[in-house]
């Protein structure tokens, strides 16, 4: 059961997104070079059923879609990837993430919005780049695709899980020995991916807060021993939010660790919390390296999602060296 603790992993959240626009191939290549063990792909579908790597079902916070295709928004004013053919999405330029309300970039210290020339990658393009790098470097860096909003995709008439799982199979990711985790917030869908779609890849159940309305599920119940026991029926791990793992620090600045990691390990589940950002630290923390160390050492997590894979890899290597 403690197999999970033999290897601490670094998951590049949307690539090295602290340095280059998220989910661009450039950000993934950089994360690869920075020593990440897994590179994350958020997957959404185009109108012609192609999985593209994009965090939101919308295009407008990370591309110039509103100026290239004015009038192609829905009644809510948003531009949806699913309303565009891949060829159309390929004409867009990806930019650092923008807050639509303010028009400013979400992380002001990061790559300048509007600068550079980047495009939305397909899942296939990204896998081919990673597999190519694995060949040329002799490494075995993994992929970590997320099935985004499966219920919403289904309401639009599309079975995103089936399409993505088939794509993974086509690229040789088939068993739990392969360098791939499949993640999803929706527990009904995650179970379906294992039990109905026959996916034998390692599955990670993401855990949000009920207030986010990310999926029709009770994440409070999921974090109990009974809830985790049910997750372990179809998944190999959980991806909780960082505050669900470390809730703060004591007056002596020691991490206050919640019971979640131990309870998950009890069920044989690995724990990969999200998202560690040097430029968006929790209120109770002023040092990113300490936060990383608290996760790996005090909270005993098995890996973590970070926008800064170079920093996490350095701390992880130091921690492993001390063991």
Cβ closest to Ca ion, residue 125 vs residue 214? 214
Part of the chain binding Ca ion (CB under 5 A), chosen from 40-48, 106-114, 155-163, 233-241: 40-48
Tell me, by CB under 5 A, how many residues bind Ca ion: 2
Instruction: Name which of residues 198 to 237 contact Ca ion (CB under 5 A).
Output: none
307 binds Ca ion (CB under 5 A): no
Asked if 272 is an active-site residue, the reply is no
> Please, which residue, 83 or 146, has the CB nearer to Ca ion?
146
Annotation says 13 is catalytic = yes
For Ca ion, the closer of residues 142 and 263 by Cβ is 142
Q: Cα separation of 19 and 26, whole Å? A: 10
- Is 146 an interacting residue with respect to Ca ion (CB under 5 A)? yes
- Among 37-45, 84-92, 104-112, 262-270, the segment contacting Ca ion (CB under 5 A): 37-45
Q: Shortest distance, CB of residue 64 to Ca ion, whole angstroms?
A: 23
The nearer residue to Ca ion, 181 or 288, going by C-beta atoms, is: 181
Q: Which is nearer to Ca ion, 69 or 173 (CB)?
A: 173
What is the 3 state secondary structure string of the chain? Answer: CHHHHHCCEEEECCCCCCCCCCCCHHHHHHHHHCCCCEEEEEEEECCCCCEEECCCCECCCCECHHHHCCCCCCCCCCCEHHHCCHHHHCCCCECCCECCCCCCECCCCCCCCCCCCCCCCEHHHHHHHHHHHHHHHCCCCEEEEEECCHHHHHHCCCCHHHHHHHHHHHCCCCCCCCCEEEEECCHHHHHHHHHCCCCCCEEEEEECCHHHCCCCCCHHHHCCHHHHHHHCCCCCEEEEEHHHCEEEECCCCCEEECCHHHHHHHCCCEECCECECCCCCCCCCCCHHHHHHHHHHHCCCCEEEECCHHHHHHHHHHHHHHC
Pick the closer one to Ca ion by CB: 42 or 96. 42
Q: In this chain, which residue has its C-beta nearest to Ca ion?
A: 146
Cβ contact 183:271 at 8 Å: no
The answer to whether the CB of 214 falls within 8 A of the CB of 187 is no
Is 37 near Ca ion (CB under 5 A)?
no
Catalytic residue among 23, 55, 265, 272: 55
**Near Ca ion by CB under 5 A: residue from 42, 96, 186, 189:** 42
The catalytic site residues sit at 13, 55
Q: Rule CB under 5 A: which residues touch Ca ion?
A: 42, 146
């Amino acid at each position: 059961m403690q197999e999970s603790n033999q290897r601490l992993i670094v998951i590049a959240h949307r690539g090295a997104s602290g340095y280059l626009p998220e989910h661009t191939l450039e950000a993934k290549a950089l994360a690869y070079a920075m020593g990440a063990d897994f590179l994350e792909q958020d997957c959404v579908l185009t109108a012609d059923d192609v999985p593209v790597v994009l965090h939101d079902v919308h295009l407008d916070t990370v591309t110039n879609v509103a100026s290239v295709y004015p009038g192609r928004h829905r009644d809510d004013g948003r531009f949806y990837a699913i309303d565009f053919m891949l060829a159309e999405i390929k004409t867009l330029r990806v930019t650092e993430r923008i807050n639509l309300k303010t028009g400013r970039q979400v992380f002001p210290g990061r790559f300048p919005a509007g600068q550079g020339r980047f495009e939305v990658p397909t899942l296939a393009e990204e896998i081919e780049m990673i597999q190519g790098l694995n060949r040329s470097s002799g490494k075995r860096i993994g992929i970590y695709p997320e099935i985004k909003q499966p219920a919403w995709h289904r309401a639009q008439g599309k079975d995103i899980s089936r399409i993505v799982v088939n794509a993974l199979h086509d690229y040789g990711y088939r068993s739990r020995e392969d360098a791939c985790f499949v993640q999803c917030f929706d527990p009904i869908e995650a179970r379906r991916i294992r039990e109905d779609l026959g996916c034998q890849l390692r599955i990670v159940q993401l855990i949000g807060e009920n207030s986010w309305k990310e999926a029709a599920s009770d994440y409070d119940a999921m974090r109990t021993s009974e809830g985790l026991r049910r997750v372990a029926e179809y998944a190999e791990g959980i991806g909780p939010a960082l505050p669900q793992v470390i809730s703060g620090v004591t007056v002596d600045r020691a991490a206050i660790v919640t019971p979640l990691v131990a309870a998950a390990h009890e069920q044989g589940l690995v724990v990969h919390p999200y998202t560690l950002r040097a430029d968006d630290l929790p209120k109770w923390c002023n040092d990113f390296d300490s936060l990383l160390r608290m996760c790996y050492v005090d909270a005993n997590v098995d890996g973590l999602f970070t926008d800064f894979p170079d920093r996490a890899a350095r701390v992880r290597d130091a921690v492993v060296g001390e063991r």
